[in-house]
Structure 1
Amino acid sequence: MIQLLTPQHWQDYELIDCGDFEKLERFGEITLIRPEPQAVWAKQLPPSEWQKLHDIRFKGRSATSGQWVKKNSKLPDRWHITYKNNDVAIKLRLGLTSFKHVGLFPEQAVNWDYISDSIQRFKTPKPKVLNLFAYTGGASVIAKAAGADTTHVDSIKQVVSWANENQELSQLKDIRWVVEDALKFVKREIKRGKKYNGIILDPPAYGHGPNGEKWKLEDHILEMMQDVAQLLDEEEHFLILNSYSLGFSSVIVENLLKGSLKTTENLEIGELYLQAKAGNKLPLGVFGKVRKFKTT
């Protein structure tokens, strides 16, 4: 069965409305208008309400490059929010980037809950978790807060530094930071004979490693999944594969998991979305996940 999942524990985030290729969303005390290519329907709230509610708007020639326009020049470029579920609480730093992003994908809280719940239920003491394509490290910080020995891998040094800020804000320490091409790192870990109880993948459609390595999702994801399967602890584990690529369906993710892993116990596949207060659902990627617990 294909599931539709949306976060349940956000207090510092709210999707207010979305449509006409934009979204109106609150992060803590600041409300933004940002481009959203998935929002092909009409807005539910009138333009006057959007104008009244927002603090900062992203304007640009495209959905990925432009500038932020503030209603009030005293509004910050950086601020903090918190996330708390049934197991852990973390603090995250947000910031206005030139690519419309703020350092957080709030729909990923669904996966964060799965990560912390899995770690809390594992019988393995101090389980090892690997976060690949790890961005600003929300999943890494959640895993660490839940008690895992956590390794964070991303090819961009600046976002790894940002992730370290999030670790410090959450009053945690000792996440292993790796600035490297994810596929190269995985292959080296195989040679080292390493095993992980949890592996998280949120690969981009396109990307580059620190030394110019090229990543194209449809060309490299099968190789990545076959390699990652060799790192997964056989007795107790979870694996999450998340994709925001518009061409990927949850059935593709299901086929990749079933074709790469020896066992796919507790397989779940589906789509992540954010529920707008105004009524619409905003789809934000597909996922597949499996997990296995020790029986004794």
Structure 2
Amino acid sequence: MQLVKPLHWQEYELIDSGHFEKLEKFGEYITIRPEPQAAWDSSLSEAEWKKMAHATFKRDPNNPEKGVWDTTKAPKPNWPLKYSYNGLNIHFKLSFSSFKHVGIFPEQAANWDYIFEQVKARKATNPKVLNMFAYTGGASLAAKAAGADVTHLDSIKQVVTWSRENMELSNLDNIRWIVDDAMKFIKREVKRGNKYQGVMLDPPAYGRGPNGERWVLEEDINEMIALCSQILDEKDHFFIINTYSIGFSYMVLDNLINKAFPFKKNEQSGELYMEDRFHKKLPTGIFYRFHS
């Protein structure tokens, strides 16, 4: 098991964490958001947090999945953020959503670097890459910037539109956009015999497809990984799966991957995390990745 954190952020910082919240800097704004794994005490006082923050997310007492932002000190409804490392330069539009998110999962920068390098290593073969549960497209942008033929899939049309804006902000083009249920799409790809040199997925614990299709990580992940093994090019490939579910061990992925991908090598698995200014480590998900 490895512990991996992104090393190259310049416009994002986890400032502090504790009392089941996190204090973060996203470009020009500092936010306070709920964080169920921050069970420890914060290093800064509540007064210091409030003084620093431009926007604070408050959960809806009648719906714990949603809430509202107090944006009194953040007059812009959206603002830019960029990520740059070793030739990778991608840009995002951030915005305050009712689900506490702002448009990126910053810990995924550790995977963006990996994707960028893996695609560059295969650029001569014009690698085809599939990104499922793709959200606002950080992984898609990293793959496209390195020269891949990218298919980006998410079940929410508005999120795919947001991803397209990020592509344009990054001066990229020709990503293939798909609004669909991931399980239905990959089953069709298996039937068609399509192959990809890169497969990336970041499935939620729970989710819905565009027609109400139900996704439950613990129930559906076995079948999803088995299907991924059927569309991944056995000779020339990379694969990344990332999950965020409290209590879902990286050993679960280890068992599933070992069964589905007997040809894998160069594998890495463990936890992604962010580290605040006071060296507290905040777990942000488990991952498994490998490449030929």
Same fold (TM over 0.5): yes
Shift of 1:209: 0.9
Between the aligned partners of 1:69 and 1:20, the Cα distance in structure 2 is 19
SS in 2 for 1:65: strand
User: What residue is the counterpart of 2:162 in the other structure?
Assistant: 162
User: What residue is the counterpart of 2:57 in the other structure?
Assistant: 58
Shift of 1:198: 0.5
Between the aligned partners of 2:136 and 2:123, the Cα distance in structure 1 is 28
Shift of 1:87: 3.3
- Identity across the alignment (%): 53
With over 3 angstroms needed to count, the CA separation of the structure-2 counterparts of 1:234 and 1:124, relative to structure 1, is farther
Shift of 1:152: 0.4
User: What residue is the counterpart of 1:26 in the other structure?
Assistant: 25
User: What residue is the counterpart of 2:204 in the other structure?
Assistant: 204
235-244 vs 50-59, which moves further: 50-59
SS in 1 for 2:144: helix
Deviations 1:87-110 (A, max 9, x none): 311000100011111011000001
* Amino acid aligned to 1:68: W
User: What residue is the counterpart of 2:84 in the other structure?
Assistant: 84
Deviations 1:35-61 (A, max 9, x none): 111101000112222122111111233
1:116 aligns with 2:116: yes
With over 3 angstroms needed to count, the CA separation of the structure-2 counterparts of 1:211 and 1:61, relative to structure 1, is closer
SS in 1 for 2:49: helix
Task: Count how many residue pairs are aligned between Structure 1 and Structure 2.
Answer: 290
* Amino acid aligned to 2:68: Q
* Amino acid aligned to 1:52: K
1:224 aligns with 2:235: no
State the superposition RMSD in angstroms. Answer: 1.2
Query: Does structure 1 retain, via aligned residues, the 8 Å contact 2:123–2:146?
Result: no
Between the aligned partners of 2:72 and 2:100, the Cα distance in structure 1 is 17
Query: Does structure 2 retain, via aligned residues, the 8 Å contact 1:87–1:117?
Result: no
Query: Does structure 2 retain, via aligned residues, the 8 Å contact 1:55–1:71?
Result: yes
Structure 2: tracts of 5 or more residues without a match: none
How does 1:1-296 map onto structure 2 within 5 Å? 2-61=1-60, 64-72=65-73, 75-122=75-122, 124-292=124-292
Between the aligned partners of 1:168 and 1:139, the Cα distance in structure 2 is 15
Between the aligned partners of 2:183 and 2:60, the Cα distance in structure 1 is 33
SS in 2 for 1:191: helix
Shift of 1:64: 3.1
Between the aligned partners of 1:290 and 1:224, the Cα distance in structure 2 is 17
TM-score by length of 2: 0.97
Query: Does structure 2 retain, via aligned residues, the 8 Å contact 1:21–1:40?
Result: yes
168-177 vs 54-63, which moves further: 54-63
Query: Does structure 2 retain, via aligned residues, the 8 Å contact 1:44–1:279?
Result: no
Shift of 1:234: 1.3
Deviations 1:229-287 (A, max 9, x none): 01001111100011001131111111111110131201111100001012211100000
SS in 1 for 2:66: coil
TM-score by length of 1: 0.95
SS in 2 for 1:246: coil
Query: Does structure 1 retain, via aligned residues, the 8 Å contact 2:4–2:270?
Result: yes
* Amino acid aligned to 1:289: R
Between the aligned partners of 1:85 and 1:250, the Cα distance in structure 2 is 27
